[in-house]
Amino acid sequence: MSDIWSWEHAAAALPALLEGFKVTLLATLLGTLIAVVLGLVVAIVRRTAPRILSLPVTGAVEFIRMTPLVVQLVFANLVLSQFFETLTIGIWVLGIHYTTYMAEVYRAGIDSVAKGQWEAATALSLPRARTWRAIVIPQAVRNTLPALGNYAISMFKETPFLIVIFISEMVNQAQNYGANTYRYTEPITMAGLIFLAASYPMSLLIRRLEKKLA
């Protein structure tokens, strides 16, 4: 049994994994914040801006969404590493990549706002900016919260891709431990369990939110 699993190695790998988990969590939180804010901006631009502005934004969104995250990470790191820290590049690439998905979620949320709400705002002669701020955006965000939460979990589970630009997140720490000790089973398993322990409660919370908002 000790040839397959060693609690001693599992315990020895844990401190490095937790240190890597801090990086994983930081990348997820900041990446999600970027995606949530930029996703809303992109959705509004695509909905309201003149065609000369909305078309390039739409093209950029489609290009980013249709290319692999790993390629984006490597390319951005090659181009920007002399100007920014690697972790900063990784966080922004994650955030911008998921911006394209969250923008579509926001678009669906905006489209779900009843037509009567727009007509009522027009009848009351509300300024366009106030219509968006006070009527459309609050309802759209409320309708899209569960989907946004699911994408945040997806981003959390994709942070191991940061390994391609040599960021010492949790999976990278697990591989380093395995390379130093020739024991990969324990650190990789422990990393998977930490991912599960962190993401499962969030998924339960999102399910409850979906039922509450239904």
Please indicate, yes or no, if residue 108 is contained in any of the structural domains.
yes
Report how far apart the first and last C-alpha atoms of the chain are (Å, whole number).
Answer: 49
What is each CA distance from 147 to 61, 70, 205, in whole angstroms? Answer: 18, 23, 12
2 pLDDT above the threshold of 80: no
Please indicate, yes or no, if residue 2 is contained in any of the structural domains.
no
Can you list the alpha helix ranges (DSSP code H) found in the chain? 7-48, 51-65, 69-80, 86-111, 115-123, 128-131, 137-158, 170-181, 185-213
Please indicate, yes or no, if residue 167 is contained in any of the structural domains.
yes
* Per-residue pLDDT band at 211 (split at 50, 70, 90): confident
* Per-residue pLDDT band at 191 (split at 50, 70, 90): very high
Using one digit for the tens of pLDDT, what is the confidence trace for 45-80?
988 888 888 899 999 999 999 999 999 999 999 999
Residue span of the structural domain in which 145 resides: 9-213
Residue 27: per-residue pLDDT: 95
The answer to whether the beta carbons of residues 90 and 165 sit under 8 Å apart is yes
Q: Looking at residues 183-196, what average pLDDT do you find?
A: 92
Please indicate, yes or no, if residue 173 is contained in any of the structural domains.
yes
Distance CA 123, CA 167 (A): 54
Please provide the average confidence, as pLDDT, over all residues in the chain.
88
Using one digit for the tens of pLDDT, what is the confidence trace for 71-124?
999 999 999 999 999 999 999 999 999 999 999 999 888 888 777 777 777 777
Number of domains in the chain: 1
Please indicate, yes or no, if residue 3 is contained in any of the structural domains.
no
Using a cut of 0.95, tell me whether the model's pTM lies above it.
Answer: no
CATH number at residue 140: 1.10.3720.10
Please indicate, yes or no, if residue 1 is contained in any of the structural domains.
no
Please indicate, yes or no, if residue 4 is contained in any of the structural domains.
no
Residue 213: per-residue pLDDT: 66
Distance CA 124, CA 27 (A): 44
